Amino acid sequence: MVLTVNNVVKDVSVSQPLRRNGFTFKQFFVAHDRCAMKVGTDGVLLGAWAPVEQASRILDIGSGSGLIALMLAQRTSAAVAIDAVELDLPAADQAKENFQSSPWTERLNIFAQDINVVAQTHPAHYDLIVSNPPYFESAVACRDEARNTARYTQTLTHSALLQCAEKLLMPQGVFCVVLPYELGVTLECNAHQQGWFTVRRLAVRDRPGKALNRLLLTLSRQPAEFDFQELDLREREGVYSPAFRALIADFYLNY
């Protein structure tokens, strides 16, 4: 099922009162009240960090509210097309509405489908694939089915995610993912065993002295020079670090 966005509406204005049931960014608004997983730091990090310079067609796997797709639309030119895949229909419907309310509606499409189905019908189609995927094991399921799908790997294992990305990427394309740090390291090891190469790696901690708690990876099927960096989100409690402020300056209000 494809939900195509084709209606243009006006931009979000930072001078307007902040809207409820979502998150207001500088150039767009993300409603997320019908999505199991809300706008969060992981998605914002990936949307701001993923390399878009060489991309002409982008795919967001497990798009939820459409946050990352919208951030990538803001960062790219009018020539770049962006598809999003979301299995949960209420979330896909809300992503469609968020796309329609954005300045980039003509470039954004949402597939309300299983990514495994999309991988069979769109092989070797994308230059950049991004994902903020499920990450908890399913031993203890959530009571809410949609939240369970969004948070747990029972419907999309990380191995299956890598296989789908391999099918969908152009030969020179890259796959970007964000995960809790330890799970990210495990996915990276599994990716290397499946013939992927790490191109970029960003390890994130909340503030200096704390343990690393997130990992962002850019993976390629082609060997490339490896870039490794670390990022502190805050320089102290309640104060964003200069590096994080620079990363999100085009998105967060008041930065």
- Count the neighbouring beta carbons within 10 Å of the beta carbon of residue 45: 23
Q: What is the pLDDT of residue 153?
A: 43
* C-alpha to C-alpha distance for 158 and 130, rounded to whole angstroms: 13
Six-digit token pair at 206?
Answer: 């909340």
Distance of CA 87 to the CA centre of its chain: 15
Q: What is the pLDDT of residue 148?
A: 45
* C-alpha to C-alpha distance for 56 and 80, rounded to whole angstroms: 5
Q: What is the pLDDT of residue 10?
A: 34
Q: What is the pLDDT of residue 18?
A: 57
Q: Each residue of 76-113: pLDDT tens digit?
A: 999 999 999 999 999 999 999 999 999 999 999 999 99
Long-range contacts of 116-120 (CB under 8 A, 24+ apart): 116/160, 116/164, 118/85, 118/164, 118/168, 119/163, 119/164, 119/167, 119/168, 120/167
| Residue positions counted in the chain | 255
Q: What is the pLDDT of residue 37?
A: 81
Q: Inform me whether the pLDDT recorded for 147 exceeds 60.
A: no
Mean pLDDT over the full length of the chain: 87
pTM of structure = 0.86
Give the H or E element holding residue 202.
strand 197-205
* C-alpha to C-alpha distance for 165 and 176, rounded to whole angstroms: 10
Q: Please, which residues have CB within 8 angstroms of residue 63's CB and are 6 or more apart in sequence?
A: 69, 84, 85, 86, 91, 92, 95, 110
Question: How is residue 157 annotated by DSSP?
Answer: -
Let me know: does 32 contact 21? Beta carbons within 8 Å: yes
Six-digit token pair at 249?
Answer: 């300056």
Q: Each residue of 27-42: pLDDT tens digit?
A: 999 999 889 888 999 9
pLDDT cut 90: percent of the chain above it: 74
Name the nearest CA neighbour of 199 among 249, 125, 128, 248. 128
Q: What is the pLDDT of residue 137?
A: 47
